[in-house]
Structure 1
Amino acid sequence: MERLAGRIILLWGFPRAIVAFLAGAVGALALPPFGFLAALFISFTLLVWLMDGSTGNPDGGLFSRLRSAFWLGWFFGFGYFVAGLWWLGNALLVEADEFAWALPLAVIGLPACLALFYGLATALARMFWSDGFGRIAALAFGFGLAEWLRSFVATGFPWNAVGYGAMPIPLMMQSAVLGIYGVTVFAVFVFSAPALIGTKKGMRLGLSLAALLSCAHLGFGAYRLYLADSALAAPAESQMVVRIVQPVIDQARKIEDSDRAEIFEEHLALSALPPEDGGKRPDIIVWPETSIPFILTQNPDALARIAEMLQDDQVLITGVVRSEETGQGFAPRYYNSIYVIDSEGQIVSAADKVHLVPFGEYVPYEDMLRRLGIPEAVAMPGGFSAAPVRAMLTLPGGRVFYPLICYEAIFPQEIGEDVERTSALLNVTNDGWFGATPGAYQHFQQARIRAVENGLPLIRAANTGISAVVDPYGRLIRGMDYNQKGVIDATVSSIPVPHWGEDARQNYFWLVLASMLLIAVVSRAGFNFRTN
């Protein structure tokens, strides 16, 4: 291993960039649907060795000294994001005649931009680089800060944060109660630790600390799951039977005006199916994002059809497009929304999407970009508008759901204090844009982690999948795989389990980040760690 480390450290120029790119791409294999955890050990071990050889210009200024490390991290990130997000291009092929020109922007341009954060991570790490195990603490600090910045800079896109690679199964998801960014910091430290074997310096202490963190990660997961059944024991009145409809409507059909009535009837037919094996009829029926392919409030016959389908005391929760008139002579505003409809056909609660998808639901800097000819990738004239605040969904009987529409589920900070008074997280989405690619599996895992973070069950309805009911420990109660048409019925307990709030998770993140920085700084200063 020392010989391999030496060869990687001495790489220069184009071969060095290629190895960094491939190291990042290999790391993406740890993400769903593959879940190959060892890939990130390979990925970050190679990155540490590459960083060992990234000396920069010692006689130049700060920029000259860090430039080499920045580009190393950029190539690493470019490989990671190209391999992990290539499927985004599939959304542009649904209407290829109009949007195929933007394919390179999605498959190459976005990863190139996201890679800037990883370039920043390695540049920061290089400032505190040393020969001992402090250098992997520096790398953990850099990546933790970079992933946190990626969650909100330019509206944020924290998809596939490194920490998700450390949580492929429920046993390993329980650390999420501490927050995905805190988990990311420790994950990078652990994934980087094998690099110490190739260079020896700091090996004993570094590997011991990495082993301790790994044991804590697994031990905490085992302990929490051991307590899970007793924590979820609930009286009958706190339970609800939920039916999720997964209609598998091809995205091209949803765009066609001629198919809209038929699509609506398909949803109704699936919703009206009898329970399996004579089970209890569902209390709540959930349809995915934008399931109703027309403006529902402009179609009273459709509301009447829903009332006919629902039995007494049943409710339908469905994704819709909501329109709002803005005054004479002005175009209406459109919102990506959720309605709760009772058995009388009345809309009793509603919530609009707060965090819109840039270039998918709205155009940032719209006036300037329209002049450059960059349109929205949605059919609604003028795109969607964002709600100023998030509304909770209140159901007849008093239950409250926390709504997360589509990719809002990837943002931990989108879930505020109101979550404490809710019975479940509700995620409606349409991942049909991405086809049979890793995108749907990655999205599901991130939504699943939100359930663990907040100690609440997750009810997730996706047009083409993955639809599921997940308990507060990230365990699958019932689910349907991608592209399987049908319904699932599941009993959900509305009793939350102990968890940390978002403020506590943020405080923990900063504490962990500061501890890694302290280790890196002390190591850089030459403190005499007795490691061998």
Structure 2
Amino acid sequence: MIPLADRVIHATGWRRWLVAFAAGAVGALAMPPFGVLPALAVSLTPAVWLLDGSMKAGPSRRSGLKAAAGIGWFWGFGYFVAGLWWLGAAFLVEADQFAWALPFGVLGLPALLAFFPAFGFALARLLWLPDASRILAFAFALTASEWLRGHLFTGFPWNSPGMALGQNLWLMQSASLVGLYGLTFMALAIGSAPAMLATGHTRRERWMAPGLAAAFLAAMAAFGAWRVPSEAVANVDNVRLRIMQPNLPQDAKFNPRNRDAIMRRYLTISAVPAAEGSAPATHLIWPESAFPFLLHRDPGSLAQIATLLGPSSVLVTGAARMGEPLPGEAVGKFFNAIQVIDDQGTVIGSYDKVHLVPFGEYVPKFLDAAIRAVGLRQFVHIPGGFEPSESRAALSIPGLPPVAATICYEAIFPGQILPDGPRPNLILNVTNDAWFGQTPGPYQHFAQARLRAVEEGLPLVRAANTGISAVIDPFGRVVKSLPLGVEGAIDAPLPVEISATVYSQFGIFVLTATLVICLMALVARRRPRIIPGPGRTRVNAA
């Protein structure tokens, strides 16, 4: 055993927690926009050694589980603080109202999210054996905790470890088979395998797990290189997209006093002539919540849009929508929506957001009264917050194939973005990341949306207020894009979809079968094995 590993394994007290926090923080470097893949191994290897040390935490199983959960919490706290610090930027958009809460966003949310890896580390400790099988136990347990993080309490699968592999064009192709959580299992197993180099009892034990991890990573890259065609995919006939990126700061975007200036800006950028020889746009796309007013109830703005659009072209835009008031109510419910407007200025289609952002777009009902009692509200200036749509339906847009519409962070949920019914032909994502300025947040959001295209085998069209706006083909290749913090418009064709991927058809079953087989193998290794005969020797004790 090398001295470094020995010191980590035998660390106690605050030194143990400090090592765990630092190891987790290093792991954030593997996420976008940095993409330093070796940082994953630098983060996960000490985590395995720390769990080795939890075996010496006390004479009882309970004390060992408590030590493992503590290690997992500090590791997760470091990971989420380093990876999500940019959330604090949202509290400074209206600093006079929300700056006081900045520590709760920067430290409070990571502290809560850290309970998921705490659970994962404790589960891994239950399955722990002092051999190479603990690498699989670690990967299995943390993948289970990541799945829980993505589903419990509305879910928040942001920066799942699988994104370390999900931002490289070749490595991300495996998501077409196993999705984000499958990538997470692979990333955790590959990233933690180097721990064996310092703790294996024999040369074979030291090198087998890292060697298999390296071979598996190479196989993933080879599969990706084989899967991505050398030529561009075909484009949908008679479709020409124009995506407008206004690059408006958030404090200006939701100020009703700026409504006329905002509309002029949208119209001016959208009306810039296309490149010489390019066909006029058939579909103009604007980002999420594009107006500080209700567009569908503003005839003047609809008339301006009709003047902008060419014959038979349409506008697809994010916009708040108010439903009709119920009997006895003064106003209707508000929805964060995507609306389709034709060249006559008529709203001809709409999609209402299903997965709202807690505290950003609504306040959970059990906290609403308490929060209002002290004069607080959600970030978005909507009376009572937005209401979620009850079901996810395809968005019908003239001239386009069926659309899977997503608004903002709806695009980060693997396996949850397609509407009920027949498979759509493209994914549309409109978003407003201006809340987070020039930080890693918008890059992370873009990378996660891009991975959905690979998982589902569908092109992605993305319009973002401040960026990153793009058209992405079903293999995750960026056809055309506008960088973060740039005003402008891009003209691009719409790539065709490819056949439904293995993940889109059987994803949850593939992942479940893999994890069940892994768990069965780990449990079987922990069972005592008895050699028949006199004395019956116990070979492997649980």
Q: Report the counterpart of residue 413 of structure 1 in structure 2.
A: 415
AA aligned opposite 1:316: L
Relative distance call for 1:375 and 1:406 in structure 2 (3 A) is same
Within 2, Cα distance between the matches of 1:366 and 1:332? Answer: 22
Residues 172-202 of structure 1: CA deviation (Å, up to 9, x unaligned): 1101112110111121010000000011243
Q: Report the counterpart of residue 352 of structure 2 in structure 1.
A: 352
Relative distance call for 1:330 and 1:320 in structure 2 (3 A) is same
Once the two structures are superposed, the pairs formed by residues 63-212 of structure 1 within 5 Å of their partners are 63-177=62-176, 178-201=178-201, 202-212=205-215
Q: Report the counterpart of residue 305 of structure 1 in structure 2.
A: 304
Within 2, Cα distance between the matches of 1:58 and 1:128? Answer: 17
Q: Tell me which moved more, 510-519 or 461-470.
A: 510-519
Within 1, Cα distance between the matches of 2:421 and 2:161? Answer: 25
Residues 411-442 of structure 1: CA deviation (Å, up to 9, x unaligned): 11322364853221000000000011000000
Secondary structure (helix, strand or coil) at the match of 2:276 reads: helix
Is the 8 Å Cα contact of residues 40 and 191 (structure 2) preserved in structure 1?
yes
Q: Report the counterpart of residue 465 of structure 2 in structure 1.
A: 463
Relative distance call for 1:398 and 1:439 in structure 2 (3 A) is closer
Within 2, Cα distance between the matches of 1:152 and 1:135? Answer: 26
AA aligned opposite 1:48: V
Within 2, Cα distance between the matches of 1:130 and 1:398? Answer: 55
Residues 430-461 of structure 1: CA deviation (Å, up to 9, x unaligned): 00000110000000000000000010110000
State, as a whole percentage, how many aligned pairs show the same letter.
Answer: 45
Within 1, Cα distance between the matches of 2:421 and 2:498? Answer: 10
Q: Report the counterpart of residue 510 of structure 2 in structure 1.
A: 508
Of 494, 517, 520 in structure 2, the residue corresponding to residue 518 of structure 1 is 520
Once the two structures are superposed, the pairs formed by residues 348-387 of structure 1 within 5 Å of their partners are 348-364=348-364, 365-370=366-371, 373=374, 374-387=376-389
Q: Tell me which moved more, 478-487 or 200-209.
A: 200-209
Is the 8 Å Cα contact of residues 363 and 376 (structure 1) preserved in structure 2?
yes
Name the Cα RMSD after superposition.
2.0
Q: Report the counterpart of residue 217 of structure 1 in structure 2.
A: 220
AA aligned opposite 1:413: G
Secondary structure (helix, strand or coil) at the match of 1:278 reads: coil
Q: Report the counterpart of residue 31 of structure 2 in structure 1.
A: 31
Runs of 5+ unmatched residues, structure 1: none
Relative distance call for 1:461 and 1:251 in structure 2 (3 A) is same
Is the 8 Å Cα contact of residues 176 and 452 (structure 1) preserved in structure 2?
yes
AA aligned opposite 1:206: A
Is the 8 Å Cα contact of residues 134 and 519 (structure 1) preserved in structure 2?
no
Relative distance call for 1:372 and 1:185 in structure 2 (3 A) is farther
Give 1:208 shift.
Answer: 3.6
AA aligned opposite 2:378: E
Within 2, Cα distance between the matches of 1:464 and 1:52? Answer: 46
Give 1:58 shift.
Answer: 4.7
AA aligned opposite 1:143: L
Is the 8 Å Cα contact of residues 404 and 424 (structure 2) preserved in structure 1?
yes
Give 1:90 shift.
Answer: 0.5
Within 1, Cα distance between the matches of 2:105 and 2:42? Answer: 27
- 1:270 to 2:269 alignment: yes
Secondary structure (helix, strand or coil) at the match of 2:390 reads: coil
Secondary structure (helix, strand or coil) at the match of 2:35 reads: coil
Is the 8 Å Cα contact of residues 171 and 224 (structure 2) preserved in structure 1?
yes
Relative distance call for 1:109 and 1:450 in structure 2 (3 A) is same
Within 2, Cα distance between the matches of 1:190 and 1:398? Answer: 41
Of 479, 482, 498 in structure 1, the residue corresponding to residue 481 of structure 2 is 479
Relative distance call for 1:20 and 1:327 in structure 2 (3 A) is same
Q: Report the counterpart of residue 7 of structure 1 in structure 2.
A: 7
Relative distance call for 1:121 and 1:108 in structure 2 (3 A) is same
Is the 8 Å Cα contact of residues 363 and 369 (structure 1) preserved in structure 2?
no
Within 2, Cα distance between the matches of 1:490 and 1:362? Answer: 35
Is the 8 Å Cα contact of residues 320 and 337 (structure 2) preserved in structure 1?
yes
Residues 298-346 of structure 1: CA deviation (Å, up to 9, x unaligned): 2111111100000011111000000112333444211100001111111
What is the TM-score with the length of structure 2 in the denominator?
Answer: 0.93
Within 1, Cα distance between the matches of 2:493 and 2:421? Answer: 20
